[in-house]
Structure 1
């Protein structure tokens, strides 16, 4: 896919990717060490106070260090520690952020800092969009998945029992700081979950990047710094190009949901938190690739086999689970119909026109049912 390349400047320690949205443009800084934070501090929004939003897992690891970096910029710094897990991405937990803001008398000049993974980033962004009708926030993602996907682009949301990310707002951060040192404390399964979102960018946009991932997936799982920086930078560049062209997901940006229609159904059907988001997306990408073949876009299953091999090497599941023993296919269809891309009750899927080029297409249930019927029986 051809698109105007986003601006990128590189220093020995820091990569800089720019999200171009006019007055709401902002930088993504990728690196580690003091030089990263020295540059990041130049972009901190001005404010009367700061609220660090984090969770019970991340707070003991990184909250104090972030607080120390904020002290020279904000006269008052507060912190709210949320429970950790996708199952807490709901109204009740979101209100804890509002409770902290109101309890501390935060005004329109308060700045929120999202310190954590995708759940923290999504909820902090939604709170920032809503509090006093909008206050600034900064993303400090501490998981690979958040660094390459959820922290970039301004999609904020909470889950509903009937659908993932169905309640939210488009609201851009002022800055994204990707400190790759925070990935050192990431459990292996969380690192693999992030790799699913990295791998996604190949089939939808850049097959040269996909080939690079095939060659370096072992380096990424071993957290080789140069490989991580390249993967994060290229992922952010692709997302920056897509978001800059279609901020509110009215067209092109939908391709970023490759595998997500199936994946979100898995998450909702199994119960939020039972499957990691990246694991569900991995299995969903395999289904979406198979659907692309059924629709006649891919001439055979050779790319699907290639995708399966890379996902397996990344430590990711490639088979979707049965989410309802009695009516699995019907349940999948029900859950996929509660999808932001659906229109008039018809399910629209991101499929591959060819490897490296994705489109969104309305597909009738009769075409998809054989894929869903085969869940649990197909051998990869």
Structure 2
């Protein structure tokens, strides 16, 4: 009798486990629309339109706010990378509508998207040069999320000048500044996962700035002397967070402060923020650069059809301007050793999407391109 009871319990546990697992892996039916110009022939355009439709379905299924179609241009290279790394992220794909527009093809597909695999597929090909930025400002009991404060503006400008792309979370209507303050105070960064999965950015900069009132105008500072100024300290606490295999990892953290002085309270706070902004941006950029150096790798880039030294210099200059490129060594006409700080697939994508070079061969250590 006791044995039967244990077996029955085991069966119930197995049924519940299978039910939970089935829900976990359940795919989501989604339609996607893709369009492509007919340049070579109709069948090639149709293939590209189908690829675009697949990514459209993925975007809709995940609710991502970054348009993959604007990031990725080389669907052939993309499909090759995705097929090797993530299989079955969208299955049972069927064309439910096909339109010949004369100079273009438009297709509507329907497929079953597996959210976890789709997320991994998107992260493999997204531009990891993108950062999320969330900074709240706490003034006594008031907490604000202001995308126009000097700290946000300076940080976004600094990252942009370094070749990064920045998504300012202050513009997201779903973000509650009081919730962000609790997340930072309690270091409950896993609570951000829902928001961060909607963005393809890999790294998030999250922080809060609070004001410390040192001296008020008119305050007795001793010996019957009264301060003519408000002295206010703006203190920033921040974290660099990275999405890593479904988890959120803390890459680094820091505290930076700066002082503002003025006879008017509001002016003193603004001056404190203006002084804090460049110091904070430099501190964060140094932390990012240390992380990038730890990720560096070397890739040999071969360029066909270079017929002059001046053209060789031009190619080298173009390579040096790309995000995540640390250095470029000239190994001779049409051959360069690139010190790169991220997944080599991003370098291949950048060469095609930014400069229009054609990728002939790609591997993690070698890229062969054609200028035309």
Q: TM-score, normalization: structure 1?
A: 0.24
Higher strand share: 2
TM-score (norm 2): 0.24
Structure with more of its chain in helix, by fraction: 1
By relative contact order (CA 8 Å, sep 6+), the higher-ranking structure is: 1
